[in-house]
Amino acid sequence: MRNQREVLGAALLSVFTAGWLAVQGVQAQLPGALPGVEPLHDSGQDVTPAFEGWFKNADGTVDILFGYNNRNQKQELDIPIGPNNKIEPGNPDQGQPTHFMAKRGWGMFTVTVPKDYNKKVTWTLAINGRTNAIPAGLDPRWEIDALHEVAADNTPPVIKFLDPGPSAQGPHPLTTTMTVTMPNSANLDVIATDDNKNKSRNYKGPAVTVTWTKYRGPGTVTFAKNKPLVDNESHHATTTATFSEPGDYWLRVVANDSSGDGGGGFQCCWTNGIVKVSVKSGNTR
């Protein structure tokens, strides 16, 4: 009969052998791939809607928050409003993006429903041969604190497009409009402030950062600076956008505090803004 040491040695040898065989199996796969895990792609992949959760508004309504995952590492995609990009029930256009930046887009837009809403709101996206849909409802397990992260007593930045003027705080976007005639640029100015309550005492970055991206539109949008610095005294952050062709564009600005994209997993704290730009042709003939 083997003693305890012999039994333990045999068990360790078995574990080591199994682990070695598993590693050989992994190495036999495509380079950098794990069994059952598809490798990352730069282009040619689909977009998956993401249900981020829901939160209560001061007026008693509820906002359902959506984002997305563009599974391409580099390719940006456009999916027009219609059967391939729709919200159900109701109007298929409820403010969702039609332009999808590469990788993850956190907390892009909200759909507002009554507090006693008992149906599902479904966002469907279809591209590159695949259709993905995400149903979202008011399941208590999906309630989030998008307007107040309790652990750090943190709240989202406040943004304005004019001072004095209306302001917004949180994912439900502040919107404004403007008209530009090509080849002129759109002058973009946002005023962003924050409570400066950091998750980490060692954080040394700015209290608030702003990022501009294309949200909708027929052509290419080029920003002079897509991440303009917020002035410490005036709190203004300015940049310009030029357009490759005329049409109706939506530009999204997101103001993040130190918690970063997606709130570091807490779904707080950031604020959305949308600038709707009507770009006219400069051809007078």
Query: pLDDT tens-digit profile of 82-127?
Result: 999 999 999 999 999 999 999 999 999 999 999 999 999 999 999 9
pLDDT band at 152 (very low <50, low <70, confident <90, very high): confident
Q: What is the pLDDT of residues 204-255, one digit of tens each?
A: 778 899 999 999 999 999 999 999 999 999 999 999 999 999 999 999 999 9
- Segment 258-267 shows an average pLDDT of 84
Side chain identity at residue 86, one-letter code: K
To which H or E segment does residue 23 belong?
A: helix 4-27
Q: CA 255, 91, 118, 108: dihedral to nearest 10 degrees?
A: -20
Tell me the whole-structure pTM to 2 decimals.
0.84
pLDDT band at 76 (very low <50, low <70, confident <90, very high): very high
Percentage of residues in the chain having pLDDT higher than 90: 72
- Segment 156-170 shows an average pLDDT of 95
57 vs 38, higher pLDDT: 57
Distance CA 121, CA 107 (A): 15
The correct answer on CATH 2.60.40.60 for the domain covering 150-280 is yes
Q: 268 — alpha (psi -120 to 50), left (phi > 0) or beta?
A: beta
Query: According to the model, what pLDDT value does residue 206 have?
Result: 87
| Polymer length of the chain | 285
pLDDT band at 35 (very low <50, low <70, confident <90, very high): low
Give ∠ CA 255-49-173 in degrees, rounded to 5. Answer: 30
- Which of 240, 238, 273, 239 has its CA nearest to residue 254? 273
- Which of 53, 48, 57, 75 has its CA nearest to residue 66? 53
Distance CA 272, CA 254 (A): 5
Tell me the domain boundaries of the chain: 47-142, 150-280
Distance CA 127, CA 132 (A): 9
